Amino acid sequence: MSDEEENEPGAAATEQASQEVPEAEALIRRVASLVDSARPMPLSASVMVNREEILELLDEALAGLPDEMRAARWLLKEREEFLAKTRRDADEIITDAKNRVAQMVQRQEVVKAAEARAREIVEQAQASARRMRHEVEDYCDQRLASFEIVLERTLKTVQGGRERLSATGTADEPNEEGLDDEPAEGAVFDQDTD
């Protein structure tokens, strides 16, 4: 007997049962064969058999049945334990799979939340850029408008100066007689005055 068989309860019973099952079956088959080959009774369906031989074979078969029953019960118990262990293993696998699915769903939810947050940040940045661009355009428009006002004033001043120059230029032209009007003594030309 190996070490494994010594450690397992009922291993010896299983081995013994495997040897006895054919023996008990063989004994019952011998009884059936004896009854089948027995001499028939005249005018009856009954047969004549050797009572002692049949009883001896049946006693041997009955003696082997408790061991066989014990072995069969042990096999049933082993089968039930194996099925229970298999069910536990299957339940563990299903639980692990559910946990992994839950983790994957959570990761997917985290990714979706991150993508939504990223979209929100991009939209905020684009809105901020649009607002800043409008503010810069408004500022530039205000500065250009004020520069335009300064240029218009400068233009008016330049036009006024040119008009004065042209007005004084006609006064400096010689008279019909060819005489120039001389400025009075002490008079100084000032272009800023009207």
Q: What is the pTM of this model?
A: 0.34
Query: Which range is least confidently modeled, 23-27, 168-172, 190-194?
Result: 190-194
Lowest average pLDDT, out of 23-37, 93-107, 144-158, goes to 23-37
Q: Which is higher by pLDDT, 59 or 19?
A: 59
Instruction: Give the position of tokens 């262990």.
Output: 85
pLDDT value, residue 153: 92
Domain count, the chain: 1
The dihedral sign for the CA sequence 116, 117, 119, 120: positive
pLDDT of residue 98 exceeding 80, the answer is: yes
- Residue 186 lies inside a defined structural domain of this protein: no
Q: Tokens 């990761």 label which residue?
A: 107
User: How far apart, in whole angstroms, are the C-alpha atoms of residue 8 and residue 77?
Assistant: 13
Residue 177 has pLDDT above 70, yes or no: no
Residue 110, in any domain of the structure = no
Q: Is 183 helix (H, G, I), strand (E, B) or coil?
A: coil
Q: Which two tokens stand for residue 28?
A: 């019952």
Q: What is the pLDDT of residue 2?
A: 44
Tell me, yes or no, whether 46 lies in a domain.
yes
Give the pLDDT score at 1.
42
Q: What pLDDT band is residue 11 in, cutting at 50, 70 and 90?
A: very low
Angle at 39 between CA 36 and CA 45, to 5 degrees: 75
Classify residue 56 by its DSSP letter: H
Q: Tell me: pLDDT of 17 over 50.
A: no
Q: Establish if 78 belongs to a structural domain.
A: yes
57: pLDDT strictly greater than 50: yes
Look at residue 18 and tell me whether its pLDDT is greater than 50.
no
- pLDDT value, residue 85: 94
Residue 111: pLDDT over 90: no
User: Does residue 89 lie in a domain region?
Assistant: yes
The answer to whether position 41 is within a domain reads yes
Residues 61, 67, 73, 77, CA torsion sign: negative
Q: Cα separations (Å) of 161 from 129, 147, 151, 158, 188? A: 47, 21, 15, 5, 17
Residue 93 placed within a domain: yes
- Show the domain range for 24: 9-101
User: What does the alpha-carbon distance between residue 38 and residue 32 come to, in Å, rounded to a whole number?
Assistant: 10
More confident residue, 146 or 187: 146
37 within domain boundaries: yes
pLDDT attached to residue 39: 81
Of 45 and 175, which is predicted with more confidence? 45
**In whole angstroms, what is the distance from residue 142 CA to residue 102 CA?**
59
Cβ count within 10 A of residue 126: 10
User: Is the distance from CB of 35 to CB of 47 less than 8 angstroms?
Assistant: yes
Q: Which residue has the tokens 């009922």?
A: 10
Q: What pLDDT score does 118 carry?
A: 93
Mean pLDDT of 85-113: 90
Task: Please state, in angstroms and rounded to a whole number, the distance separating the CA atoms of residues 135 and 111.
Answer: 36
